[in-house]
Structure 1
Amino acid sequence: MGESAVGEASPLVTDPFDAVPGLAPLRAAAWDQDWAATRAFFEETPDTEADGVSFAAVLLAGVERSEWFLEKAVRERPDDPLPRTLLAERYIHLGWRARGRGPGADLSWDQAEQFQDWLRKAELLLIEVCAREPAYVPAWTARLATARGLTLGQSEARRRYDRLAEHDPHHVLAQSRLLQQLCPKWGGSWEAAHGFAQECASAAPEGSRAGVLVAEAHLEHCAELDGAQAGEYLRDVSVRDELRRAARASVLHPGHRRGWAWTDSHSTFALAFSLGGHPGDAARHFTALGDTVSESFWRNVPDWKTRFTEFRTAASATL
């Protein structure tokens, strides 16, 4: 389980660019401010990456100062949807970073203003893309994030997702973004959130990573509960069984092929099973992860790196 030669645990690999070698050229291109290399990366995205362009766009958005060369690419290629969409994802990233992770009621005026400004800039770019190329799925995926941040409501978010699903009905990143919108904290309901997650997982081909949506919905639900309720929620047998079915049909299915988001998927299942007190179920996900982990849901856990190591040790004891 990732032990070093001297018996100490190896450092956790949290950067997806390091965890997934196939993504490394994208980071190098961004560091070099190299648009040609960036475009080549996206043009060569393998067919096995159903939502790979959107996933990689989100990762690129987290590279510092990437807006510099993306803004230049937009100016030089005004009719090309790719640079506009990548720049919009960068603006979305900057907006959510300015907002912070706290509840909306706790935002300062300055935080809220910066957040809205960045998202409005992103939305303007994406409106142009979708008007010119209404079948361009990565732009609709980005517009699910702006719809939520600009509080455009459930109906508008669903309209955008439906437009996207006309062209890609199993786009997991887009489904994950709509799932967030369907949670009560963004005006939805748990019935809607869980129902959508189950609907997507059931409709997806076996071996798809879409089963992770079920785990995402349960983790979001657990996070909204207090005290003993939160502790018991993921321990519920019906929740455990839903997670088991979702994992078996997706990342644990014999037909599953690892894509760029594989650390996200296994990390989410590992956390859900671990918090629910099911180390035996978590074990296969920890085995797949080794020393890699996605922070997406784990960072919500206090002292999460220590907890990850503790949960992984408990899981390994069941093997």
Structure 2
Amino acid sequence: MALLRDWGLTLGKWVGRPPVRLQQDSGDPEVRRVREAAAAADWATVRTVLEARSESEDRTELLWAVGDTAGVEEWIAPVLEAEPDAPLPRLVAGIRHISWGWEARTGARAKDVSREQFEVFHARLRTAERWLYEVAEQEPGWTSPWYGLQITGRGLQVGQDTARRRFEATVRRDPHHLGAHQQQLQQVCEKWSGSHEEMHAFARESAFGAPGGTSLGQLVAVAHLEHWLALDRGADARYIQRPEVAASLQKAADHSYRHPDFVRRGGWLQVYNTFAMAFSMTGDVASARECFRATEGRVTEFPWYYVNGSDPARAYKQHRAFTGS
């Protein structure tokens, strides 16, 4: 944050640049379809969309489009009663209760969250855990319930050992699952009782332990941004501008989105946004420009809310202006 303030950037006119817009999803048309169906309480369409996307193709984004939709907790209840042995309604209910739980908690710091909010938060997460464990037992090959359990585990503070086992259960089923690795990275962050050293080690091992061309190189950039975020003003800028930080970002980029096997699918847009932010903060204009141009003005909330929680698109614009892209 200090680095951005020190640049003294202001918003200008964006002549010749793609218009900036906050991207709510990866651009997959099925995400919008399933979100609209969830808002309309149209279980038949929700089920059709979800069943058409196999677990091996990672239907995480589709599930969260449903889970983040208000009111799902109401209409999914009679579906559960009508289909008592079906795993998919339980998976949807579990994912919805995770999102609904975090809505109760809000994004405030723990000291600013009331006891009543925490009670509702934990109750909803415990309900989610019950359903997700049932799904995991019914469908042992599915990744999604274990991914959901990674998130409930952090909210319920199950501890690092249990959290690690849940992560390992997810990646046994999908070794390069980006969301699972992102969740585990958060788990080992200093702010969640981990450490900077553990976080960076996990990011490197995950990124470079995977074949070239996966999205896991993003973890290296996220780890540097998390480290930067944890530091006081002045120390944050000194850290992010260290030559070894820039060098590690280049290495991760080469192994990830610059690799010839990289495919723009799933979370690819967030990968470019993350590297765009990280490179611009190091002062590497050319590399940041490369990423900004690839996004074509499409902004993902993460990681830009690290700079401006209320207006991620504004943060994107400011950094993009610095690169002249």
Structure 2-normalised TM-score? 0.88
Matched, 1:215 2:186: no
Instruction: State which of 32, 47, 54 in structure 1 corresponds to 2:40.
Output: 32
Instruction: State which of 315, 321, 324 in structure 2 corresponds to 1:307.
Output: 315
Equivalent residues in 2 for 1:196-275, closer than 5 Å: 196-275=202-281
Partner of 2:151: 145
Matched, 1:280 2:286: yes
Instruction: State which of 298, 311, 316 in structure 2 corresponds to 1:292.
Output: 298
Q: Distance between the aligned counterparts of 1:200 and 1:287, measured in 2?
A: 27
Q: How has the CA–CA distance of structure 1 residues 134 and 46 changed in structure 2, closer, same or farther, with 3 Å as cutoff?
A: closer
Q: Distance between the aligned counterparts of 2:193 and 2:184, measured in 1?
A: 12
Please tell me the residue identity of whatever aligns with 2:224.
Answer: H
Q: How has the CA–CA distance of structure 1 residues 108 and 252 changed in structure 2, closer, same or farther, with 3 Å as cutoff?
A: same
CA offsets 1:80-112 (integer angstroms, 9 cap, x no match):
222212221111112112222232233221221
Please tell me the residue identity of whatever aligns with 1:108.
Answer: S
Q: How has the CA–CA distance of structure 1 residues 7 and 69 changed in structure 2, closer, same or farther, with 3 Å as cutoff?
A: same
Q: How has the CA–CA distance of structure 1 residues 87 and 239 changed in structure 2, closer, same or farther, with 3 Å as cutoff?
A: same
Instruction: Report if the CA contact (8 A) 1:129-1:139 is conserved.
Output: yes
State the Cα distance separating 1:179 from its structure 2 match: 1.0
Gaps of 5+ in 1: none
The count of corresponding residues between Structure 1 and Structure 2 is 312
Partner of 1:15: 24
CA offsets 1:11-62 (integer angstroms, 9 cap, x no match):
5133227x44342222232233222222222232278x74x31232123222
Q: Distance between the aligned counterparts of 1:14 and 1:101, measured in 2?
A: 20
Instruction: Report if the CA contact (8 A) 1:55-1:173 is conserved.
Output: no
State the Cα distance separating 1:7 from its structure 2 match: 6.8
* SS of aligned partner of 1:16: coil
Equivalent residues in 2 for 1:9-158, closer than 5 Å: 10-16=19-25, 19-45=27-53, 50=57, 52-158=58-164
Please tell me the residue identity of whatever aligns with 1:61.
Answer: G
Q: How has the CA–CA distance of structure 1 residues 59 and 220 changed in structure 2, closer, same or farther, with 3 Å as cutoff?
A: farther
Deviates more, 1:87-96 or 1:102-111: 102-111
Please tell me the residue identity of whatever aligns with 1:165.
Answer: V
State the Cα distance separating 1:296 from its structure 2 match: 1.8
Please tell me the residue identity of whatever aligns with 1:65.
Answer: G
Deviates more, 1:31-40 or 1:87-96: 31-40
Q: Distance between the aligned counterparts of 1:288 and 1:71, measured in 2?
A: 42
Instruction: Report if the CA contact (8 A) 1:279-1:311 is conserved.
Output: no
Q: Which has the higher contact order (CA 8 A, sep 6+)?
A: 2
Q: Distance between the aligned counterparts of 1:229 and 1:97, measured in 2?
A: 33
Instruction: Report if the CA contact (8 A) 1:233-1:276 is conserved.
Output: no
* SS of aligned partner of 2:298: coil
Q: How has the CA–CA distance of structure 1 residues 316 and 89 changed in structure 2, closer, same or farther, with 3 Å as cutoff?
A: same
Instruction: Report if the CA contact (8 A) 1:14-1:292 is conserved.
Output: yes
Q: Distance between the aligned counterparts of 1:244 and 1:134, measured in 2?
A: 38
Please tell me the residue identity of whatever aligns with 2:103.
Answer: R
Instruction: Report if the CA contact (8 A) 2:31-2:65 is conserved.
Output: no
Instruction: Report if the CA contact (8 A) 1:273-1:282 is conserved.
Output: yes
